[in-house]
Amino acid sequence: MLLIYCPYCEEERSELEFRQAGDAHIARPRNMTEMSDADFEAFFFLRDNVKGLTFERWRHLNGCGRFFNAARDTVSDKFLTTYKAGLPRPDISALRPAASSPVGTAPVETYEATEADAK
Amino acid sequence: MSELLRSELLGSDLSHARTLALAGRHGGLGAAALTPAAPATRLSLRAKPDAVETLSAALGISLPTRPKTSASSNGRHALWLGPDEWLVIDETEADLMAAAASSNVLHSATDVSHRNTAILVKGFGAEVAVNGGCPQDLTLAAFPINACSRTIFGKAEIVLLRTADDAFRIECWRSFSPYVFGLLSEAAEDAGN
Amino acid sequence: MSGANRIPGAGRLTPAKTARFFFDGKSYAALEGDTVASALLANGVHLVGRSFKYHRPRGIVSAGAEEPNALIGVERDAARKQPNVRATVQDVFDGMKVVSQNRWPSLAFDVGAVNNLLAPFFAAGFYYKTFMWPKQAWKHVYEPQIRAAAGLGVSPTEDDTDHYSSRYAHCDVLVIGAGLAGLSAALAAAKTGARVIICDEQPEVGGALHYDKSVTIDGLDGFTWAQATAANLKRMTNVKVLPRTTAFGYYAQNFVGLNERVTEHLAKPDKKLPRERLWQVRAKRVIIATGAIERHMVFANNDRPGIMLASAARTFLNHFGVTVGKKIGVYTANDSAYEAAFDLKRAGVTIAAIVDSREKPGEGVLAEARALGIEVLTGHGVVNTSGNLRVSSMSVARNGGGAARSIAIDALLMSAGWTPSVHMFSQSRGKVAYDTETQRFLPGAYAQDCLSVGACNGTNDLQATIEESLAAGELTARASGYSASEKLELQGHNAFNWTGGMAGAAEGAGPDTTVKAFIDFQNDVCAKDIRLAVREGMHSIEHIKRFTTNGMATDQGKLSNIHGLAIAAETLGREIPKVGLTTFRAPYTPVTFGTLINHSRGELFDPTRKTPMHALEEAQGAVFEDVGQWKRAWYYARAGEDMHQAVNRECKTVRDVAGMFDASTLGKIEVVGPDAAQFLNLIYTNSWDTLKPGRCRYGIMLREDGFVYDDGVVGRLADDRFHVTTTTGGAARVMNHMEDYLQTEFPHLDVWLTSATEQWAVIAIQGPKAREIIAPLVDGIDLSNEAFPHMSVREGKICGVPTRLFRMSFTGELGFEVNVPADFGPAVWEAIRAQAEPLGACAYGTETMHVLRAEKGYIIVGQDTDGTVTPDDASLGWAVGKKKPDFVGIRGLRRPDLVADGRKQLVGLLTKDPKVVLEEGAQIVADPNQTVPMTMIGHVTSAYWSENCGRSIALALVAGGKARIGETLYVPMPDRTIAVEVSDMVFFDKEGGRLHV
């Protein structure tokens, strides 16, 4: 169960209080009625299913009730940052943590990792 | 209900004929005793930051602006639920709608006196009992007296307010209250172990 | 005497504290603190079960949680039978009933053992290959037979009478494992004031100190030090010490599941206590101190009862005071087994010989063995054993061949070295790394805020373990802002540091041999099975695992994984790390369903929501139906009535007189603010600017794709205040949908939303006499048709209670909906009832409500629509504001598919035979004589018997439906085809005059 930092409550809370709400930074066009079918399709139906860094919306449903945005890595499941709705995408390059390996030898891949890479 | 009682009801003033959601319930053991709270008036209050001061004056209580905090005075409590949202509770059943309306400032006030009901949890095991269904860190350092939060209790939403080292007030919607009370009872019975 | 194999003066149990238990019906003596395994061994019982596949006699292999063999059933009563309990971790209690498993008719004589003779036919992959043909036989013959023969233990057939508990906990440092490393780390962390939880799966702390009697810490015997340290920790208010508690799962962001066994060891547990308690711990830092698990040697017939791990025999002796035999052999590739021999020898037990596969054992242990007069055969292997129900001899031969010498024994201890327990580390998504020098997988790259210390981190040296653990405790506490006032120091001492270890098949079980040298005892996997799997083309360790089932039993290969991997690597001609390790999964050891479910059973399985009037309705004979989490009165059965009769009566009564209905579950949202109308303009298809305060309008809400999402009546109470209603099932998601748009797309609007569903109890009074019924009760509202027309709302009082009174109708009759604050609902319900019943009105339920609205062609979103229906499809095009510049769904509605001809449209269906009621969901075809599969052109969404119409009625979604009105279509059913005529959707009072009286 994830811990999610709510930018409004200013602390980490259990995933149980939150709901995921789809991709972030997809603004509803102001000129809806003038959109072409292709533009509407792109706006409403088409989404990238990103492996790695993704920007998504969450709602602190059973908390402050606010929708907010998150940058999350879909491989590690880790949140890189969360930020209030309406703010632009943050600079993610500064947020990526470096892995540490005390033993100093190459890690042995478990099956999931090798399978995914093979694909 | 008997025919007699029904005929008495007929045409009479029923403004005191309340049926409380948790009437007659009691639970918990020495570690954490559970009591249904008395009826109270409640307001779901919404406003922007620039209205907070005026509303506070109108309500006679300083609306908190920090997350997870509340203010209390004379049986009236204002709980921060979100950046523009408060739950105001008056245990003396004062008319909160009128008080908010008197502010003449942009806000939204909705009467939720009957939507919510409350359970009081008290005892040395109160923290553990609430942690029976609530995933938040409730130790005093993380959740001090007067801290409050809307959160999850098992499969129900609650608003949690710490009223003392060993006491919490749990607000929940009326129809969820038997579930919340039931789960709290089981957790309270295990809290002393 | 609690067993003939108890050695006076040995062990830590108190001889005076005895208990009796039953094993397969026979009574045995035990001591308090015994496990079932130690008690059976004390009584000389080695045979405890039969193996899964070959039904070979099996004994006790280990003394801990890694036990693969000694699975037993523990029976308290008919409801409380726990199968597959590891005898090595279950405490004995007085009067306990234990049964062996996987044998018939008895443990010593088992018919299934014929499988052992047929073993050549049961090679790895046997099931995959053998039962492929004929195809049908799998389902009807093979699978039932295999299922009947398979499985370990028997599940209880009655409901579990125990209860289980759960709690969330938070700490700065969670220490998993309370051996020397864990206790040292916990102590260092706790001394800083940090919040510490330390758990251990065993009844007492100590870990390896249970058996390793040579250890002293600060001059104290190791085990004594451990108990003193735990007592010290327990006295600290910032520390929680949890014995009998297994950390079974390590999840994201240091969320760790602990399973505490509260009463499992008690003869007569306090009924108030939960049997087990789930701890859901969120730790800022985790210290993994889970130790290491000894591996067995892989040689021919290494599975006979009496053959066990050396450390297990040492635990049975040093902790339980039990010797596992009288003349014991040792087979090892590692120094640690020597110490087992030393301890036993000093306790007076004969050591037949130590057989060491290595040419050069550690010098210290070799010298000590010689000093004790124990024969050591270096560079030798045990190439076979004999003994049916217990080992009776071992055949020893020099490595590389030569004549075998048979040595009589009654127990054989083995050690192939130690496997660091990286389960928790691996579950935390850390990547293990292979340490070539010591041939071990060790924690490599960490993925979470945790540290491994001691044996699970590959640290062998005692003092190094202590120092590493103390440092980890202090470091993790410091990460939470705590610091130590003084540096903690502990001095440890032990007899020998251990060297050695091997992985894979030992002497005589190597390539080209066909002996049964078991690597996975529980799933009966031998070294040769791994080789077969590789020969048959399995090159990935995960494929080999699945083909052979190695490591797939309930012990998850705690002993076998490394052996399997080494043999696979050897056969493949690859290095071990190149073959890869299988993933460690939660749970570490089995967890009961009770613990995982804990409080969520019976009434607490899910919230059951009841309306304020529920109890009154129940007393009136209401039968309830589930609508989401709500209980709603379905119909009110009177004496002698079935559902059909009750619904017919209710339907008739409403239209002839009046009825009262509990509508409290409808979602209600209060929309408040100067921009409230503008917001509703964007959320609903309708226009709200023109709605005057005091009036109501039926609104439709779409998703952005143009399909109907929800509907309901919206009343305007004031310029800046609307009372919005939603469907019962849609309340929560509609609120979320509206909040989403308000917060993220229209945040410029000054408006707020508040859920008021439960603020109001709602009593609908519908029917010609509705006004007459409520008139005497209502105060301050003119109820006349002129002053209070259809689709209006007023605020006033009813019975002295504040009310929002709506004039609206979901039945087509004159109707009111009385909203009162929820706690007043019951009293007002009774007051209205007292008016209604003398006039001949009655209460009605949701079924009648459904029939009456269908008679009027009013749709139910979610029943007559399915997420692909537009307003126009549902004949609700009139509710879409044609001049509106924007609303959610406006563009979706113009999509080519949504304006194309031939869309499925909602229409009425009248069966040619008026008595026939269609089935909801039934498919509709145009030509009943076409070949199967027929072209289906729609389906029935609602179908009822209408007592008011004197016939059946139905609504259906039919392709091009509106153009088909008057056409005959067909509904093919299994037993007949029903002819229907397409009609409009209104079956009763087509003009709607009854609404406006």
How many other C-beta atoms can be found within 10 angstroms of the C-beta atom of residue C777?
23
* Cα of A65 to nearest chain B Cα, Å: 7
Closest CA to B161 of B119, B113, B111: B119
Summarize the confidence of residues C790-812 as an average pLDDT. Answer: 97
- Asked if pLDDT for residue C411 goes beyond 50, the answer is yes
Which pLDDT score is estimated for C356? 98
Q: Are residues B88 and B154 in the same domain?
A: no
Mean pLDDT across C443-470: 96
C833: which chain B residues are within 8 Å (Cβ-Cβ)? 6
CA–CA min distance C181, chain A (Å): 18
**In this structure, what CATH number is given to the domain that contains residue C77?**
3.10.20.440
Closest residue to C609, CB basis, from B109, B114, B175: B175
The pair of structure tokens assigned to B23 is 């009437």
Nearest chain B residue (CA) to A9? B67
Residue C78 clears pLDDT 90, i.e. is over it? no
Query: Taking 80 as the threshold, does the pLDDT of residue C127 lie above it?
Result: no
C961's tokens: 């439906």
Q: Considering the entire predicted model, what is its pTM? A: 0.93
Do C691 and C839 reside in the same domain of the chain? yes
Q: Is the pLDDT of residue C125 over 70?
A: no
Give the residue on A whose Cα is nearest the Cα of B133: A16
**Do residues C730 and C861 make contact, with C-beta atoms less than 8 angstroms apart?**
yes
pLDDT for the residue numbered B108: 98
Residue B2, pLDDT > 50, answer no
- The tokens describing B38, both together, are 């008395």
**For residue A113, is pLDDT > 50?**
no
CB-closest option in A1, A62, A65 to B85: A65
Q: Could you give the CA distance from residue C71 to residue C107 in angstroms, rounded to a whole number?
A: 13
Residue C142, Cβ density class (10 Å: 0-12 exposed, 13-18 middle, ≥19 buried): middle
Contacts of C668 in chain B (CB under 8 A): none
C371 domain-assigned: yes
Contact C252 A44 (CB under 8 A): no
Q: Which domain holds residue C33?
A: 18-111
Instruction: Provide the 10 A C-beta neighbour count for residue C383.
Output: 26
Last residue of a domain, one of B77, B112, B147: B112
Interface probe for B, chosen from A1, A3, A14 (most Cβ of B below 10 Å), is A14
Section A91-99 average pLDDT: 65
- Which residues in B lie closer than 8 A to residue C825 (C-beta atoms)? 19
Instruction: Kindly report, residue by residue over C711-744, the tens digit of the pLDDT.
Output: 999 999 999 999 999 999 999 999 999 999 999 9
Phi, psi torsion values for C350, nearest 5 degrees? -80, 130
Subunit contact B112:C754, Cβ cutoff 8 A: yes
Rounded to the nearest angstrom, the minimum Cα separation between A28 and chain C is 7
The confidence score (pLDDT) of residue B72 equals 96
Our CA-based measurement puts residue B71 at a distance from the nearest CA of chain C, in whole angstroms, of 22
- Indicate if C451 and C560 belong to the same structural domain: no
Contacts of C994 (CB under 8 A, 6+ apart): C768, C812, C813, C814
Q: CA-to-CA distance for C971 and C916, rounded, in angstroms? A: 11
Q: Both C867 and C961 in a single domain?
A: no
DSSP C609-634: B--TTHHHHHHTTEEEEEETTEEEEE
* C825 found inside a domain: yes
Question: Quick check: A85 pLDDT over 60?
Answer: yes
Per CB-CB distance under 8 Å, the chain A contacts of B85 are 64-65
Confidence of residue C129 (pLDDT cuts 50, 70, 90): low
**Which of 19-48 (A) contact B at CB < 8 A?**
none
In chain A, whose CA is at the least distance from the CA of C445? Answer: A101
Give the pLDDT confidence of C933-967 residue by residue, as tens digits.
Answer: 999 999 999 999 999 999 999 999 999 999 999 99
| Residue B6, domain member (yes or no) | no
Q: Is B44 in the same domain as B87?
A: yes
In angstroms, what CA-CA distances link C34 with C47, C73, C917?
A: 18, 17, 69
How many domains are contained in chain A?
A: 1
Q: Are residues C657 and C778 in the same domain?
A: yes
What is the arithmetic mean of pLDDT over C510-520? Answer: 94
CB B64 within 8 A of CB B110: no
- Min CA distance, C445 vs chain A (Å)? 4
Q: How many CB atoms lie within 10 A of CB A111?
A: 16
Q: Which chains touch C (3 or more CB pairs under 8 A)?
A: A, B
- B28 in any annotated domain: yes
Task: Give the chain B residue nearest A63 (alpha carbons).
Answer: B150
With contact defined as beta carbons under 8 Å apart, do C209 and C180 qualify?
A: yes
C673: closest CA of chain B, how far (Å): 6
Structure confidence by residue, pLDDT tens digits, C257-305: 999 999 999 999 999 999 999 999 999 999 999 999 999 999 999 999 9
In angstroms, the separation between the Cα of residue B140 and the nearest Cα of chain C is: 12
Residue-wise pLDDT tens digits, C353-366: 999 999 999 999 99
| Domain end residue (candidates: C853, C885, C917) | C885
Strands laid side by side in the C216-217 sheet: C220-221, C216-217, C492-493
B34 and B45 together in one domain: no
Distance CA C199, CA C721 (A): 56
Minimal Cα distance from C578: which residue of A? Answer: A108
Note whether C970 and C924 are within 8 A (CB).
yes
Query: Chains that contact B by 3+ CB pairs under 8 Å?
Result: A, C
3-state secondary structure of C373: coil
Read off the pLDDT of residues A41-81 as tens digits, 9 standing for 90 and up.
Answer: 999 999 999 899 999 999 999 999 999 999 999 988 889 99
Contacts of C280 in chain B (CB under 8 A): 135
- With CB atoms and an 8 Å threshold, state whether A33 touches C740: no
Chains A, B: CB contacts within 8 A come to 41
Q: In Å, how far is C595's CA from the nearest CA of chain B?
A: 13
End-to-end CA distance of chain C: 95
Q: Any idea what the CATH number is for the domain that residue A67 is in?
A: 3.30.2270.10
Residues of B in contact with A14 (CB under 8 A): 135-136, 152
Segment C206-228 shows an average pLDDT of: 97
Last residue of a domain, one of C415, C430, C459: C415
Q: Looking at the structure, do residues C687 and C809 belong to the same domain, yes or no?
A: yes
Is residue C450 located within the same domain as residue C544? Answer: no
In whole numbers, what is the pLDDT of chain C averaged over residues? 94
Which of C111, C132, C157 marks a domain boundary? C111
- Residues C545 and C454 occupy one common structural domain: no
C736 lies within 8 A of chain A by CB: yes
Contact B67 A14 (CB under 8 A): no
Q: What is the pLDDT of residue B13?
A: 85
- For A107, nearest residue in chain C (alpha carbons): C433
Per residue in C823-857, pLDDT (tens digit) is 999 999 999 999 999 999 999 999 999 999 999 99
CB contact under 8 A, B106 and C674: yes
For residue A104, pLDDT over 80 is answered with no
Is B87 part of a structural domain of the chain? Answer: yes
CATH (domain of B44): 3.30.70.1520
Q: Is residue A101 part of a domain?
A: no
Specify whether B139 is located in the same domain as B80: no
Given an 8 Å threshold on Cβ–Cβ distance, is A17 in contact with B82?
Answer: no
C257 to chain A: closest CA residue? A1
Residue B158's domain comprises: 21-39+115-193
Of the candidates C599, C595, C637, the residue with the CA atom closest to the CA atom of residue C619: C637
Instruction: Inspect the interface and report whether the beta carbons of A14 and B136 lie closer than 8 Å.
Output: yes
d(CA A92, nearest CA chain C) in Å: 19
Asked whether residue B63 falls in the same domain as residue B95, the answer is: yes
State whether A67 and C540 contact (CB < 8 Å): no
Q: Return the pLDDT at C139.
A: 66
Shortest Cα–Cα distance, C525 to chain A (Å): 21
The pLDDT of residue C148:
54
Banded pLDDT at C593 (limits 50, 70, 90): very high
Collect all residues from A whose CB is shorter than 8 A from any CB in C.
Answer: 1-3, 14, 19, 21, 27-28, 32-33, 35, 37, 40, 44-45, 57, 59, 61, 65-67, 76-77, 85-86, 99-112, 114
Beta bridge partners of C581: A110
Residue C778 sits at the chain B interface (C-beta within 8 Å): no
Residue C642's Cβ-count burial label (10 Å; 0-12, 13-18, 19+) is exposed
Q: Please report, for the domain that includes residue B159, its CATH number.
A: 3.30.1360.120
Judged by CB atoms closer than 8 Å, whether chains meet at C758 and B174 is answered as: yes
Nearest residue of B to residue A66, measured between CA atoms: B82
Q: Which helix (H) or strand (E) holds C714?
A: strand C708-718
Assess whether B49 and B71 both reside in one domain.
yes
Give me the percent of chain C exceeding a pLDDT of 90: 88
Given this model, what pLDDT does residue C150 score? 53
Q: Does C603 touch chain B (CB under 8 A)?
A: yes
C413 vs C3, higher pLDDT = C413
Per-residue pLDDT tens over the stretch C802-831: 999 999 999 999 999 999 999 999 999 999
Please count the structural domains in chain B: 2
The shortest CB-CB distance from C822 to any of B14, B46, B114 is to B114
Number of domains in chain C: 6
Using alpha carbons only, what angle is made at residue C10 by residues C14 and C201, rounded to the nearest 5 degrees?
Answer: 70
pLDDT for residue C897 is more than 90: yes
DSSP C269: -
What are residue C364's phi and psi, to 5 degrees?
-60, -50
Is A42 part of any domain?
yes
From the list C705, C736, C890, the residue facing A32 with the nearest CB is C890
Which of C609, C822, C831 is opposite residue B14, by nearest beta carbon?
A: C831
Residue A115 has pLDDT above 50, yes or no: no
Q: What residue type is C608 in one-letter code?
A: T
For residue C353, the number of C-alpha atoms closer than 13 Å in the C-beta half-sphere is 20
Tell me the CATH number at C363.
Answer: 3.50.50.60
- ipTM for this prediction: 0.95
Q: Do residue B34 and residue B128 come from a single domain?
A: yes
Closest CA–CA distance from residue C731 to any residue of chain B (Å): 14
CB contacts < 8 A, B to C, total: 163
Kindly state whether residues C908 and C948 are assigned to the same domain.
yes
Residue C168: pLDDT band (50, 70, 90) is very high
**Calpha distance C675→C672 (Å, rounded):** 8
CB-CB under 8 Å, C582 with A110: yes
Closest partner residue to C443 among A45, A99, A103, by Cβ?
A103
pLDDT at A103 (0 to 100)? 38
| B35 & B45 share domain | no
User: Whole-angstrom Cα distance, residue C649 to residue C653?
Assistant: 6
Q: Determine the length of chain C.
A: 997
First-residue to last-residue Cα distance in chain A:
28
Say how far apart CA C331 and CA C353 lie, in whole Å. 8
Q: From CA A61, how far away is CA C665, in angstroms rounded?
A: 21
Interatomic CA distance for residues B14 and B12, integer angstroms: 6
Which chains sit next to A, with 3 or more Cβ pairs under 8 A? B, C
Please indicate, yes or no, if residue B2 is contained in any of the structural domains: no
One domain, residues C202 and C267: yes
In a domain, B45, yes or no: yes
Partner-chain residue, chosen from B82, B135, B157, that has the shortest CB–CB distance to A64: B82
pLDDT tens string B61-119: 999 999 999 999 999 999 999 999 999 999 999 999 999 999 999 999 999 999 999 99
